[in-house]
């Protein structure tokens, strides 16, 4: 569907819609099927996600022992750990090629409140 939109000139090519360093998930053993159920549990490293951090910014690794960057590039705590500065990966874009910015996060957070 998207290839057809690119061909018609209604959507930029994938190279223009992708971030500078795309996030690639390597399969554990093989690429799975696009169906079924996803069951997860909360581990100590995933607690940050359960406490309000948007899951699309950082995600627990396969072992559940550490947090990996997703759309976020870095999460830097203040000295007292009361505030965090989140850095987004450079060049993030929506599928239509529009930039993904902090305003998208703020809008989403307002919608969840």
Beta strands in the chain (DSSP E): 58-60, 67-69, 72-77, 84-88
pLDDT at 53: 54
| pTM for this predicted structure | 0.51
pLDDT at 8 over 50: yes
**Cβ atoms of 86 and 74 closer than 8 Å:** yes
Retrieve residue 15's tokens: 């190279």
Neighbours of 4 (CB within 10 A): 9
The tokens 């750990």 sit on which residue?
81
What pLDDT, in 10s, does the model give residues 80-102? Answer: 988 888 888 888 888 777 888 88
What pLDDT band is residue 51 in, cutting at 50, 70 and 90? very low
What pLDDT, in 10s, does the model give residues 12-40? Answer: 888 888 888 777 777 777 777 767 776 65
């Amino acid at each position: 569907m998207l290839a057809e939109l690119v061909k018609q000139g209604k959507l930029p090519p994938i190279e223009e819609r992708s971030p500078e360093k795309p996030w690639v998930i390597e399969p554990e053993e093989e690429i799975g099927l696009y169906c079924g159920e996803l069951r997860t549990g909360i581990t100590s490293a995933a607690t940050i996600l359960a406490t309000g951090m948007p899951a699309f910014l950082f995600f627990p690794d396969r072992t559940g022992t550490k947090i990996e960057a997703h759309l976020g590039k870095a999460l830097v705590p203040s000295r007292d750990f009361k505030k965090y500065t989140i850095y987004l990966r450079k060049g993030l874009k929506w599928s239509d090629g529009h930039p993904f910015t902090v305003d998208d996060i703020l809008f989403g957070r307002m919608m969840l409140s």
